Amino acid sequence: MSVDTTRISEAIAKGQMDELQAITQKALDDKVDPGTILNQGLLPGMDKVGQLWREGEMFMPEVLRSAKTMSKAMDILRPHLSEGDLGSAGKMVIGTVAGDLHDIGKDLAGMMFEGAGYEVINIGIDQPNDAFVEAAIEHKPTLLGMSALLTTTMPRMGEVINSLKESGIRDQMAVIIGGAPVTQEFADEIGADLYAPNAGSAVELTRQFFHR
Ligand code: B1M
C-alpha cells in the first residue's frame, strides 16, 4: 500500500487540518506502514511548504497553519510510529536566550525542524545559559538552536557556546542561531556553525551543513 503524496502535500500546503487527519487515518486503516506515511507523505509535504515560503509563494500565517496541520496529523500518527521512525533526521534543542521573551520565530523554526523529521525539544523563552547546556547534556542533540530578538540579548548566544566548550560538549552538536538582529557576521564572530535568516531556510541550510 502506498500513500497519496500529492493529496498530502496539498492538504499541508492549504492547511486543511480535517482533510489531512482523515487521509492519515485512512492510510493507517488501510495498513500503510506508519513510517511510510511520515517519510513519503508528511515530511515531503512540509518540505514543499518550506520551499514555497522561501520562494515567496507562501506567507507566514499560512506557514503557521501548515505547521499546525502537520502537527495535528502527527498526533494521529505518533502512537503508531516506532522509535526509528521518529526523530529520523536527528534531535534538536531550541530556545530563546536569557532576558528575551520573544518566541514566535523560535517556535516557527522549531515547527519547521519538526516537520523535517527532527525530534524537537523546545525549552522555551528567557532561558539562562546553563539551561541550554543542561538540556544539551540531558538530550544529546545533533543540533542546538538559539533565538534572540533583542540586540541586548544577542551576546547570550556567544556565552552559551563558550559554556558548551567549557563543558567539553561543543563538538557533539551543531549550533544554529537566528532572530531579527542576528547576522552571519555575528554568527562567525561567536563561533556558531549556522545562521538562518528565516525559519524557512533553517532546515535547508542545516541539511547542507550536515552533508558537506
Ligand atoms: Co518586541 N521588540 N520587545 N515584543 N517585538 C522587537 C524585536 C523590536 C525590533 C521592535 C522595535 O522596536 N521595532 C525591538 C527590538 C529592538 C532591538 O533590540 N533591536 C523590540 C523591543 C525593544 C521589545 C521590548 C524591549 C519593548 C519594551 O518592553 N519596551 C520588549 C522586550 C521584552 C523581552 O524580550 N524582554 C518587547 C516585547 C515584545 C512582546 C512581548 C510584546 C512581543 C513578543 C511576543 C512573543 O514573541 N510571544 C513583541 C513583538 C511581537 C515584537 C515584534 C513586533 C515582532 C517579533 C516577531 O514575533 N516577529 C518585533 C518587531 C519586528 O520584528 N517587526 C519586536 C515575527 C517572527 C516570525 O519573526 O522572530 O524575527 P522573528 O523570527 C524570524 C527570523 O528572525 C528567524 O525565523 C523567523 C521566521 O522567519 N528566526 C530564526 C528567529 N529565531 C530563529 C531561530 C533559528 C532560525 C531562525 O534557529 C534556531
For residue 121, pLDDT over 70 is answered with yes
* Percent of the chain's residues with pLDDT above 70: 96
Q: Which protein residue has the closest C-alpha to ligand 1 atom 68?
A: 105
- CA 104 to ligand 1 centroid distance, Å: 8
- CA 19 to ligand 1 centroid distance, Å: 33
pLDDT band at 84 (very low <50, low <70, confident <90, very high): low
pLDDT in tens, 152-186: 999 999 999 999 999 999 999 999 999 999 999 99
Atom number in ligand 1 closest to CA 106 = 84
Pocket test for ligand 1, best of 52, 149, 182 (most atoms within 8 A of CB): 149
Residue 7 C-alpha cell reads as: 493529496
- CA 98 to ligand 1 centroid distance, Å: 14
Are the C-beta atoms of residues 103 and 52 closer than 8 Å to each other? no
Collect all residues with Cβ–Cβ distance below 8 Å to 117 and sequence separation of at least 6: 38, 39, 43, 87, 88, 89
More confident residue, 2 or 108: 108
DSSP 180-212: TT--HHHHHHHT-SEE-SSHHHHHHHHHHHHT-
Rg of the chain over CA atoms, in angstroms?
17
pLDDT band at 25 (very low <50, low <70, confident <90, very high): very high
- CA 102 to ligand 1 centroid distance, Å: 5
Chain-centre distance for alpha carbon 95? 11
